[in-house]
Structure 1
Amino acid sequence: MENIKDKLLNGSKRAAARLITMAENGDSKAANIIKELYTKTGNAYVIGITGPPGAGKSTLTDKLVKSIRREGKKVGIIAIDPTSPFTGGAILGDRVRMSDLNSDPGVFIRSMGARGSLGGISEATGIATDILDIFGCEYIFIETVGVGQSEVDIVKSCDTTVMVMVPGLGDDIQAIKAGVMEIGDVFVINKADRDGAKKTAREIKTMLGYKSDGWVPTVNMAVAVNNEGIEEITGSILEHKDFMKNSGDGAARRVENKRSELLNIVKERMLQKLLEKTYDGKLLEELSIEVAERKNNPYSATETILKKINMN
């Protein structure tokens, strides 16, 4: 463990990759290393890239990373993909769409499976972010699965959230009504060479019109595949970064994010304890059969489980 810790501090990509794998597999050694090195975190600026499927998030992330790399900054990318129901691994592999970044020594790319997380964020994302922070990344991009309205958890993990939209999806207004777009700090209308791009931008600006104080999100037009609008988006992200620092909102957001992280860890540990106790006597399976056969009901079965773990 000492060896992998030293290698991480010395900037070893292999050590960072191994630690993230350990974290994904629930290996306590990864958490122990983070405990020892946690004072070295908090330096990386975390940027979330989210939006509906087909918005071009991977292409946009690729271009934004290259833009920041021109400034000599070390960058990490965590691409959250849908999870294979058979292997538990990521099934899309966003690194394929960022293949030319793999050879850049200043870029670390990792695909992670969402593993059933409804918020579009893998449970191991937080610890992976800490690992890349310790590894020395100055900017960390987190690209979500792309499942639309369930992706709001991204805002609990990032300093700046970039919402990517495209014209012609037909669900722009629905997304606005659902409130998903309220999480965006920077909006990007990608594939802006398509019909309806200006209309989509107007709709978003109208929705943002209610914000009279604090940060008013920017709306940028881009054709990421052609590298159009990338510098403007990078500028908006850095402008938001400066605003968050100078206004004090950045520190407040990080406190809120850590509160959310702590609650998630507590919930995960409690669920683990619950499963350990119920699985010992196959209680969960027995109750599931009873409920399925209508010999019991979910509420009474839940009370039985809570009594078993002394939580009732």
Structure 2
Amino acid sequence: MTVAYPKKLLNTYSARDILQQVVLDREIHLITLNRYRYSEQRSCKDLTNLIEQLNGQPPQLIKDLSRHVSDEARHAMWLTDLLVDMGVEVNTPPGVSYIEEFERLLDGHAPGSDEFLINTLAAINVTEKRGCEYFSAHLYALKQAPQTEENQAIAEVIGKILPEEAGHVRWGNRWLAELARKSPEHRQKVELAKRRYGAIEQAAFESGLDITLGAELRRVGNLLDIAETMPMLNRVSYLAERLPQTLLAPDLQFTRMQAAQRAWKRNPQAFMDKFVPMFINGIQGNKPPQAVASAKAE
């Protein structure tokens, strides 16, 4: 079967590129950790909702998902303890929400069928892969950063989370492979689900980082990529439901304002020299500008 991996931001910046900038700014670093905490906490809710939708079937999957909830709750607890001990607020992170955008882009499937299982597991699998990529890159960046007591504490927590998240990826791969072995039709559905939810995840990922001029049109391009993985009859309704919000992008406009205000307050000269050119010219070059990392934190 096809093995899908997370793509770079706009085919330019890797997770390592971004995290190496993030760890150099304590404020952005802590906001990023809070976003991790929020994602782990939210996963508990989403996985619990899934268990209720499945209504006890199949039992082995219910058992696996229950353990998954336990893992995510433990990760949220570790991150919460870490942040509270450092005196950081554990509130809802500001800015464009990766989770909310991912869910907005999902296409609905009724529970009770193998197709529902395939699509659900593919969606979980692709987000877990992104999490592993970022936790791994974060650890790498921390090794290059000053070895302060705080950075060591952060690395210790992320180092405990990463192996369990990698286990979740392997678990998802096994379930998808098992479903694909049922028949050629099942294999085709698994491959299609990987493509579709890979495109959805990439779109959600980029929406949280790309706030530069023209981001709305790039979001539309991502939406069209997702629609191409659907049967022709479903494409029109999918695009009709999501295109208006994608073009207007109220969350993007609000995040732009927040990022601009933040950059101005931190350093008016840097705002004019770095933030404004980046906003106009887009995300370019070999290294992610500080504003990209700031957008992630926003």
* TM-score bracket relative to the smaller structure: under 0.3
Higher strand share: 1
**Structure ranking higher on relative contact order (CA contacts 8 Å, 6+ apart):** 2
| TM-score normalized by the length of structure 1 | 0.25
Higher helix share: 2
Higher Cα Rg, which structure: 1
